[in-house]
Amino acid sequence: MNKRMSDIARQAGIVGAGGAGFPTHVKLDARVETVILNGAECEPLMSVDQNIMLRDADLLAGMLEKVRLDLGAGEAIIGIKAKHEEVIAAMQEAIKTYASLYIAPLGDFYPAGDEVVLVYETTGKLIPHSSIPLEIGVVVMNVETLWNLAQAEAGRPLTHKWVTVSGAVASPGTFWVPLGVSVRQMIDLAGGAVIADYAVIDGGPMMGRMLADLEHPVTKTTKGLLVLPRHNPVIGVQSQPLTTILRQARAMCCQCRLCTDLCPRNLLGYGINPNQTILAASYGGAQGDKALQSLLCSECGACDLYACPMGLSPRRVNQLLKAEVTKTGIKNPFVGKTAQPDAMRPYRRIPTKRLIRRLNLKGYAAFAPFYPTELQPDKVVLPLKQHIGSPAEAVVKAGEAVAMGQLVAEIPRGKLGSRIFASIAGRVSECSQERIVIERANS
């Protein structure tokens, strides 16, 4: 088996550029039938992948063909929302000399970029319950991940990140910045917040998480930063204590089933019924089959941020039940089972425009253009765990001088993980089991 792309990804410390950050070298160590490039960018206000495809379409096309050949795939599909006509035109021009690469226009709905949804939309195949695309001969890569792989092939390890800063900021934009810069610095790059009382979401409004500290560093999986008023419904759902959510679930859930009827995974036939997990949490905790359904939840946020008329959060309840089920040691009973899409699915998908209105995001820029920046931070903070798997192990010590691009943390032997490289030149001022701090030499 040819492992050239896998070796390049491992050496350069590449992980999935969005989501949980699965180490890319593991994903590329396979033989598959189809490679899918995920350019859906289904979260509102996020623009990283669009910017990359507009700027570097030729680079992406060439690299995608190399990945296809390396994995022995017969085809490579690029999923892009049909409404992004300029992006599609750029990529269509770039792939015209590659017979096995083609574009699959996607509908403008959420969550078109969810891995399970994307595979079904582009190939018609359904991933078995609680499995991964490799089970059906498919590898899915994010646009930025592919771009990082192209940089790595040219000898540049992963030291920088593309990040969209949007929402209530003076100049929404997409920036390429060193890993480890602070959220505060990113907001400043976008001209600063235009409101006084705000919160910041790391990621998109649906699946992102609220940050408690503006000194939080940009990591390998930081796709976007969204500045929102504290009264925004996105912030409201994330701010509520779990005890309040459970109390409201017991008192207010009317079992209308909207959360289940609009659940993207349920519409694909995965058998998850959020209304039943609400009942499970209210009457018996992790006892019974209803609680086990929480293991099927992708935590996409469709139930609490769009569907529920009572403002409840089945997603947060699912998170609680998942943790309780895991503690019991019960094995996932759904692994490997097949699914059958609901006949009503085409009529119950969530339109992006309607979602934006529901989330009170209509006044914010839908596209954040790329702005070149010469950001040179005085220091960067590099957490040793920026991905699924084990934390990286430091190979430098406090007081040691490092060059930009130098390896500072290695994958633990025999573990799933990813390497980390210095994103600026300077001196290591802190090296612990949790993080490495590098201060610029002239600071």
Question: Phi and psi for 98 in degrees, rounded to 5?
Answer: -110, 105
Q: For the chain, list the domains and their CATH numbers.
A: 4-153 (3.40.50.11540), 160-232 (3.10.20.600), 246-349 (no CATH), 379-440 (2.40.50)
Cβ of 130: how many Cβ atoms within 10 Å?
A: 15
Question: For residue 124, is pLDDT > 90?
Answer: yes
Residue 288: per-residue pLDDT: 59
- To the question of pTM greater than 0.85 for the whole model, the response is yes
CB 128 within 8 A of CB 19: no
pLDDT of residue 284: 56
Under 8 Å between Cβ of 162 and 224: no
Span 95-116, pLDDT tens digits: 999 999 999 999 999 999 999 9
Average pLDDT over residues 207-228: 96
For residue 369, the model assigns a pLDDT of 96
From 203, 196, 121, select the one nearest 161 (Cα to Cα): 203
User: DSSP labels for 253-301?
Assistant: -----HHHHT-HHHHTT----HHHHHHHHHTTTT-SHHHHGGGG----S
Between 251 and 268, name the one with better pLDDT.
Answer: 268
Structure tokens at 435: 């993080």
Whether 14 contacts 25, CB under 8 Å: yes
Q: What is the pLDDT of residues 393-426, one digit of tens each?
A: 999 999 999 999 999 999 999 999 999 999 999 9
385: which 2 tokens?
A: 């765990």
Contact by Cβ (8 Å): 65, 76: yes
Average pLDDT in the 240-249 region? 85
3-state SS class at 210: strand
CA count, 13 A, side-chain hemisphere, 55: 17
Rounded average pLDDT over 246-253: 84
pLDDT digits (tens, 9 = 90+) for 64-86: 999 999 999 999 999 999 999 99
pLDDT band of 250, cuts 50, 70, 90: confident
Mean pLDDT over each residue of the chain, to the nearest integer: 93
pLDDT of 337 strictly over 90 = no
**Cβ-Cβ contacts under 8 Å for 253 (sequence gap 6 or more):** 275, 278, 279, 282, 310, 312
Residue type, 288: G
Can you tell me the distance from the alpha carbon of 277 to that of 273, in angstroms, rounded to the nearest whole number?
Answer: 7
Residue 285 backbone zone (phi > 0: left; psi -120 to 50: alpha; other: beta): left
Q: Is the pLDDT of residue 19 over 50?
A: yes
> Residue 207: its pLDDT value, please?
94
Query: Which one-letter DSSP state was computed for residue 43?
Result: S
**Location of structure tokens 């602070």:** 182
pLDDT at position 286 = 47
CA atoms within 13 A on the CB side of 168: 17
pLDDT greater at residue 383 or residue 325: 383
- At 407 the pLDDT is 98
- Is the pLDDT at 347 greater than 90? The verdict is yes
Mean pLDDT in residue range 276-295: 72
DSSP 3-state helix, strand, coil percentages of the chain (rounded to 5)? 35, 20, 45
d(CA 244, CA 313): 10
Looking at per-residue pLDDT, the higher value among 325 and 346 belongs to 346
Better-scored residue on pLDDT, 166 or 443: 166
Q: What is the share, in percent, of the chain residues with pLDDT greater than 90? A: 80
Torsion angle (degrees, nearest 10) of CA 227, 232, 234, 235: 70
- In the chain, the largest separation of any two C-alpha atoms, in whole Å, equals 63
The pLDDT-based confidence of 246 (bands split at 50, 70, 90) is: confident
